[in-house]
Amino acid sequence: MTIQYACIYDAQSLVAEWPVDHQSTTVDALKQVVTTIPKHVYRRKSLDDTKGSGMNFHYISTGGGQVFICAASPEMRAQIVFQFLDVIEQSFQNTDSKKLNKLIAEKADFFNRMKNDKLAVLHREIDNVKDIMLQNMDSVISRGEHLDSMAQKSTQLVDDATSFQRTAVRIKRMEYARKIKLVMIFILAFGAFITVILMIACKPNFSKCR
């Protein structure tokens, strides 16, 4: 995803290029494109040559005879490539012709590295987002397990409360029955006590109490 080749034409003549004296099907295709560009009309354009050279061609025709053109891999955004061409165009008039090759090389290296740096930053951001998503998923899963645990505990508490209520009712009934037994025993004991007193006072056959 880089700028592979760039050059400057002035009135149909090649005045600078990078890499210098580079020979390839890409360069041949690009030079063929240059012959079709109107030199006296301002134009900014991108051409898809992925089926031929495997590259995209981007150029700026100033309308004054100069053409700034380059070949870049299809994945490289045209916006970045045209920023590169704009810098070359702006520096063209104030740069010695002998230093134009170096100028193109330096700017191409800068924009290629800038693209790579942005990709690295993008990959880091994607990795960070993935990490955050995984953490959120772990948190959700953990929270779900916690909720399940709370639900189980709540169910257990309800069961324990129901069991406690049943036990309390059973104990209450047993306590009530025990009290009834105690009352009955007390009544029987009291009756027996009265009977004994009467038998002592009235003799066993109650002859004295008649």
Q: What is the pLDDT of residues 113-140, one digit of tens each?
A: 865 555 555 556 666 667 777 777 777 6
Structural domain contains residue 20 = yes
Assigned domain for 187 exists = no
Instruction: Mention every residue, 6+ apart, whose C-beta is less than 8 A from residue 197.
Output: none
What does the pLDDT look like over 52-74, one tens digit per residue? 889 999 999 999 999 999 999 99
Distance from chain centroid for Cα 22: 44
Residues in the chain, pLDDT under 70 = 1, 114-129, 140, 143-148, 203-210
Q: What is the dihedral of CA 50, 15, 106, 70, to 10 degrees?
A: -10
In a domain, 34, yes or no: yes
Q: Is there a domain that residue 166 lies in?
A: no
Confidence at residue 147, expressed as pLDDT on a 0 to 100 scale: 66
Domain limits at 8?
A: 3-105
Beta bridge pairs of residue 22: none
Number of domains in the chain: 1
